[in-house]
Amino acid sequence: MLRNTLQTVKYYNLNIKKKFGQNFLIDQNIIKKIIDAVDITENDTIIEIGPGIGTLTQFLLRANKLFAIELDKDLVKVLQEKFAAQKNLQIINADILKFDLQKLIDGKNVKIVSNLPYYISTAVITKCLTLQIQSMIVMVQKEVGERIFARPSTKSYGSLSIFSQFYADISEITKASSNSFLPRPKVESTVIKFTMKGLHEEKFLFELVQRAFSKRRKTLINCLDNFYGLSKQKITDILIQNNLDKNIRGEALTIENFIELAKQIKKLAN
Ligand code: SAH
């Protein structure tokens, strides 16, 4: 028997855990939009983070291989019972923040899908962006969505905007009101698709961006002082060469500025 979310919660006598950020999807329209956006093919390996009671999972089973990573042991039991017959599904009881996702990535067709707890969404997105995956669909709180799409010199702009826009083409799949969940969260949500640009890991750029935003109210030169041993004078020279004001702050730079600076600083640092 196919039970809906409320019936499943009642049937298993589940106690919905706030500390694990459990808000289960109930809006069929949103579920359909997410699944359509995943664009599953039979060659795909899909990794679902935080499957909950398996609401999205049941539709993701069309992929060649599906990994579902869930922290809550009680929900793992539900999933094991519900999907006992599914040979292409592997349920993993783990904390996504401590789990090495790299070992699940075997080829080109890996897609990540997640309606995950909002307090770890930034950490999870940042972690996944550097993986060699094809795409990632995540449900996030509206404000995190604004940070992902933000342009320079706005309040929401920061390292998450740059990492997201550097590694992926991003689009909004749908907004989701709090009525789409059981229980209802206090915030509004949005579903975002990251289509990876296929770039290789740019560790150096990440380090530079992190340093540039390390002291929010300081100038870029002060943040970067002694970065890879570079003097303030050297950094000033680089800024001037790039037609950037020497008092500029990290939050005013475009991603293109950061990429260019990273190239030049790396040359000098080596
Ligand atoms: N995807 C489901 C459930 C969303 S609720 C749905 O849309 O209905 C978020 C889920 O993430 C819960 O099942 C919660 O137990 C799980 N979760 C919370 N923290 C986690 C972590 N650190 N690692 C893996 N899963 C986690």
pLDDT of residue 198: 67
How would CATH label the architecture of 2-196? 3-Layer(aba) Sandwich (3.40)
Q: Atom 7 of ligand 1 has which residue's CA nearest to it?
A: 25
Q: Mean pLDDT of all residues in the chain?
A: 92
4 or 97: whose pLDDT is higher?
97
CATH number of the domain at 203-269, out of 1.10.8.100, 1.25.40.10, 1.10.10.10, 3.40.470.10? 1.10.8.100
pLDDT at 75 over 80: yes
Residue to substitute in 46, 69, 70 for testing ligand 1 pocket (most ligand atoms within 8 angstroms of CB): 70
Residue to substitute in 23, 71, 77, 101 for testing ligand 1 pocket (most ligand atoms within 8 angstroms of CB): 71
Q: What distance in Å separates the CA atoms of residue 248 and residue 218, rounded to the nearest whole number? A: 9
Residue 95: CB within 6 Å of ligand 1? yes
Residue 23: CB within 6 Å of ligand 1? yes
Phi and psi angles of residue 248, each rounded to the nearest 5 degrees, phi first: -65, 150
pLDDT of residue 1: 52
Residue 185: CB within 6 Å of ligand 1? no
Q: Model pTM?
A: 0.78
Residue 152: CB within 6 Å of ligand 1? no
d(CA 197, ligand 1 centre) in Å: 27
Domain limits of the chain? Answer: 2-196, 203-269
pLDDT at 196 over 70: yes
Tell me the mean pLDDT in the region 136-164: 97
pLDDT at 270 over 60: no
Lowest mean pLDDT among 64-68, 115-119, 120-124, 140-144: 115-119
d(CA 114, ligand 1 centre) in Å: 8
Sort strands 89-93 and 65-70 into parallel, antiparallel or unpaired.
parallel
Phi and psi angles of residue 246, each rounded to the nearest 5 degrees, phi first: -75, -10
| Atom in ligand 1 nearest the alpha carbon of residue 115 | 1
Residue 30: CB within 6 Å of ligand 1? no
Residue type, 73: K
d(CA 69, ligand 1 centre) in Å: 8
pLDDT at 164 over 90: yes
pLDDT in tens, 229-264: 899 999 999 999 999 999 999 999 999 899 889 888
Residue by residue, DSSP assigns 169-224 as: EEEEEEEE-GGGEESPPSS-EEEEEEEE--PPP-HHHHHHHHHHTSSTTS-HHHHH
